Copies of this chain bind each other. A is one copy, B any other.
Amino acid sequence: MTETSKTATVDESNPWTTNGTRQIYENPWLRIREDSVVQPDGKPGIYGVVHFRNRAIGAIPIDDEGYTYLVGQYRYPLGIYSWEIPEGGCPEGENNLEAAKRELLEETGLTASHWELLGTSHLSNSATDEVAFLYLAQGLKQGPAQPEGTERLSLKRVPFETAVEMVMGGAITDAMSMLAILLLARKLKK
């Protein structure tokens, strides 16, 4: 099999047919629906889709000494404590970069003079439409953190290389954090 011969025949069209939809649930963060579908093999089926009302935004801050800042918080759906890059939700009407600046400030008290998009990712595409935007923040200035009521956060300043080791060793498991750290590590190796 060669790369070219296979690529030439790819059909990228939608192989699903949607015959109906019903709303299941809505809260300020999620909207869930169940579609009646015809599957790619022609058989009838259902598809439960979790719509995320906010885009997911992550910001990895790197200071002039090459250190980054990790935020620790309890993640209710998993029942675990998790060390992560600063992240949060960007509601409709807010700009992704503005949301990144807001989340970084809220969770760490940091402002940054240089911002760069590291990448975007679809976090769980079998059942959700959640999309994440991951930023690098540099030129940092420290002020007081301003956490939201739904958050009880800890803050840890570590060398960036330590954060990479935490990813590789399984001490950081949050996908957005792993992605931002690994994207940046790869970028720096170039």
Give chain B residues whose Cβ lies under 8 Å from the Cβ of A10.
Answer: 72, 81, 154, 156
Kindly state whether residue A116 has any CB partner on chain B within 8 Å: no
Q: How many copies does the complex hold?
A: 2
A87-109 contacts to B (CB < 8 Å): 89
Task: Write out the residue numbers on chain B whose beta carbons fall within 8 Å of the beta carbon of A179.
Answer: 175, 178-179, 182
B16 touches A124 (CB 8 A): no
Q: Is B129 within 8 A of A40, CB to CB?
A: no
Q: How many A residues touch the partner, as a band?
A: 35 or more
Chain B residues whose CB sits within 8 angstroms of the CB of A37 once the complex forms:
76
Cβ B40 vs Cβ A121 within 8 A: no
A41–B155 touching, CB < 8 Å: no
Select one of B24, B41, B156, B173 contacting A150, CB under 8 A. Answer: B41
For A127, list chain B residues within 8 Å (CB). 29-30, 50, 52, 77
Partner of A119, one of B56, B124, B170: B170
Closest to A130 in B: B124
Task: Say whether A50 contacts B74, CB under 8 Å.
Answer: no
Within the assembled complex, what's the spacing in Å between the Cα atoms of A7 and B32? 38
Cβ contact within 8 Å between B149 and A3: no
CA distance A77 to B28 in the complex (A): 19
Take A123-B175, A189-B189 as given contacts and tell me if A77 and B45 are in contact as well, using a CB distance cutoff of 8 Å: no
Q: Please pick, from B11, B39, B168, the residue contacting A183 in the complex, using a CB distance under 8 A.
A: B168
Q: Which residues in A have some Cβ–Cβ distance to B below 8 Å?
A: 1-3, 6-7, 9-16, 24-25, 27, 29-30, 32, 34, 37, 39-41, 43, 45-52, 56, 72, 74-82, 89, 119-132, 149-152, 154-158, 164, 167-168, 170, 173-175, 178-179, 182-183, 185-187, 189
Extra inter-chain contacts (6) besides given A29-B48, A128-B128, CB under 8 Å: A25-B32, A29-B126, A78-B122, A78-B125, A125-B175, A182-B183
